[in-house]
Amino acid sequence: MTAHSAPYSISDLSRIFEVTPRTIRFYEDQGLISPQRVDQQRVYSERDFVRLKLILRGKRIGFSLAELKTTLDLYDNAPDGTSQADYVLGIIKNHRRELEQKRKDIEATLEEMEEIEARITHSLSA
Amino acid sequence: MTAHSAPYSISDLSRIFEVTPRTIRFYEDQGLISPQRVDQQRVYSERDFVRLKLILRGKRIGFSLAELKTTLDLYDNAPDGTSQADYVLGIIKNHRRELEQKRKDIEATLEEMEEIEARITHSLSA
DNA sequence: CATTACGTTTACGTAAACGTCAAGCATACC
DNA sequence: GGTATGCTTGACGTTTACGTAAACGTAATG
**pLDDT tens-digit map of B11-28:** 999 999 999 999 999 999
Q: How far from B102 is each of A6, A67, A82, A103, B27, CA to CA, in Å?
A: 27, 18, 34, 9, 25
What are B41's strand-pairing partners? Answer: B38
A48-CA/C4-C1' distance, Å: 29
- Mean of pLDDT values over B113-125: 85
Reply yes or no on whether the pLDDT at B108 is more than 70.
yes
Nearest-angstrom CA–CA distance, B42 and B10:
7
B58 and A102 within 8 Å at the Cβ level: the answer is no
Q: What is the pLDDT of residue A55?
A: 97
**CA-angle at B43, arms to B42 and B44, nearest 5°:** 120
Going through chain A in order, the beta strands assigned E by DSSP cover 36-38, 41-43
CA dihedral B103, B97, B80, B84 (to 10 degrees): 150
List the single residue in B58, B99, B123 with the smallest CB-CB distance to A78: B123
Q: What is the pLDDT of residue A84?
A: 76
pLDDT level of residue B94 (50, 70, 90 thresholds): confident
**Cα A89–chain centre separation:** 20
Q: What is the pLDDT of residue A90?
A: 87
B28-CA/C30-C1' distance, Å: 37
Reply yes or no on whether the pLDDT at A23 is more than 80.
yes
B105 in contact with chain A, both atoms CB, cutoff 8 A = yes
Q: Considering only CB atoms, which chain B residues are within 8 Å of A51?
A: none
Q: What is the pLDDT of residue B68?
A: 95
- Mean of pLDDT values over B85-93: 85
pLDDT level of residue B36 (50, 70, 90 thresholds): very high
Q: What is the pLDDT of residue A3?
A: 61
Q: Considering only CB atoms, which chain B residues are within 8 Å of A116?
A: 75, 92
How confident is the model over B39-88, as pLDDT tens digits?
999 999 999 999 999 999 999 998 999 999 998 988 777 666 667 788 88
Q: What is the pLDDT of residue A116?
A: 86
Reply yes or no on whether the pLDDT at A74 is more than 80.
yes
List the single residue in B82, B88, B102 with the smallest CB-CB distance to A60: B102
Which bases of chain D are contacted by protein, using any atom under 7 A from a CB?
6-9, 11, 16-20
- Mean of pLDDT values over A61-88: 82
Pick the more confident residue, B123 or A57: A57
The percent of residues in chain A predicted with pLDDT above 70, rounded, is 93
